[in-house]
Amino acid sequence: MHICGVVDRGSGQVYMESSKEISLAPSKGASWVHETPFLPEGWEETNAIGAPTLRHAAMRQALSDQRNLRPELFKSVHWRVAKYLWDCLGKCKKQTAYAWKLFATAYPEEFRKVAPHRAMKVESPLMSIQDYLGLVKCESLSWGATLTLAATQVRTPDLVGLANIPNLVALEIATPMLYEGVQEEGEVPMVNLDDRIVRSWSELAQNSKGFANLRVLMLQFQHRISRAALRYFHDFPALQFLVLNHCSVLPVDAVAGFELEGWAVVDMDEVPKTLHSIYQKTLEIDDAEQTSFPLDARIFSLQVGQRTHKVLRASSRQFYRTVCLRRVKAYAERPAKKLKTAPKPLPAGPKRAVMRERKLKDLGGLLQDFL
């Protein structure tokens, strides 16, 4: 969605105008909305010293349309040949995210040394959020994913569905900061994270193996979560670090060592700017819990929307610095107090007459008087 200011020269009034982009995923496929699967036109079609070699011709045929490539097609292909294909894609600047994920799946050990990380940034989304979530999801856990959501199209089902991405190792929720009243009348703003959504995450983590490998959670400009959310985060099995930026759940003057609901403020010196760098830094912290994902796993990073560090709303002018929290190992949640149960109410309805039990006289003694 694009928002711009428009001036009516007749009246002098200024108003906001927005336009929505139609998702291109159904026609092109989600992987090819922002990238193209084809080789550049005319790339190395001819050879100055003669006809191209059979190897070169086979390479061009194999890479002419990346949509035809699948990991299973490389089962019998030696890594030396696959490395040659990857290098050719680099020469023509067509090392797409699709190709990266394909090689990371087909050659997990060898490809790790060549391209351990791939980043993709989409500041102007052209698809639905569900389509973008499909780009980072990998059921086979062939590679990990870090995801930054800063798009205005995010809705509650999108946030809840994040728990179903098994290879997600780091997540950032960054609500875009907009001037109040900017959105068009009737336009639904991006859903802010709140305790209700975090509770849904907690239930999915306990009952459906949600967020099985999430190690780092970064929240920016989230003012609707309370201390209860910190308790819910303990249900995430692999979560070890929370990074909060402009979140009012912590006191402004919280320093290293301060504990709240089983999370302790730690000093990370300078917090890295990218989510992937933050994730990598947590792996280097002494005495940190081991990650549930391999330390040397390939990582695919996706950013949807435009991140901002500016605070524009008048209600958010209070200064909150970036704070890193670490799970307290010995933390045990206090047992909930048992509430006194009220006596069950009697069933409603008209009262029924009950005959009292009477003490009957002895008939033997009564008949004796007539004998």
Q: Looking at the structure, do residues 240 and 265 belong to the same domain, yes or no?
A: yes
Note whether 327 and 282 are within 8 A (CB). Answer: no
Query: Whole-prediction pTM value?
Result: 0.79
Instruction: Mark whether 34 and 132 lie in a shared domain.
Output: no
Number of structural domains the chain divides into: 2
Let me know whether 88 and 142 are in one domain: no
Q: Are residues 41 and 137 in the same domain?
A: no
Tens place of pLDDT for every residue, the chain, 371 residues? 444 554 445 444 444 444 444 555 555 789 999 999 999 998 887 766 777 789 999 999 999 999 999 999 999 999 999 999 999 999 999 999 999 999 999 999 999 999 999 999 999 999 999 999 999 999 999 999 999 999 888 999 999 999 999 999 999 999 876 533 344 444 445 678 999 999 999 999 999 999 999 999 999 989 899 999 999 999 999 999 999 998 889 888 888 889 999 999 998 878 888 999 999 999 988 666 778 898 889 999 999 998 765 443 434 445 567 899 999 987 765 444 444 455 555 566 565 555 565 555 554 554 455 44
Q: What is the spatial distance between Cα 125 and Cα 111, in angstroms, rounded to a whole number? A: 29
Co-location of 101 and 147 in the same domain: no
Last residue of a domain, one of 115, 138, 170: 115
On whether residue 347 sits in a domain, the answer given is no
Reported as a single tens digit per residue, the pLDDT across 143-152 is 999 999 998 8
CA distance 298 to 150: 23
Query: Can you point out the beta strands (E) in 151-298?
Result: 168-174, 216-220, 241-245, 259-260, 263-266
Strand partners, 303: 121, 148
Last residue of a domain, one of 85, 115, 145: 115
Is 133 a member of any domain? yes
Query: Both 294 and 152 in a single domain?
Result: yes
136: in domain: yes
d(CA 282, CA 325): 11
Co-location of 160 and 254 in the same domain: yes
Contact of 62 with 85, CB cutoff 8 Å: yes
Does residue 29 share a domain with residue 100?
yes
Residue 183 belongs to some domain of the structure: no
205 & 77 share domain: no
- The reply to whether 65 and 137 lie within a common domain is no
Tens of pLDDT, residue by residue over 169-204, are 999 999 876 533 344 444 445 678 999 999 999 999
Provide the domain limits for residue 267. Answer: 117-178+190-309+319-333
Residues 172 and 104 in one domain: no
- Residue 182 has a pLDDT of 46
- Domain with 200 in it: what CATH number? 3.80.10
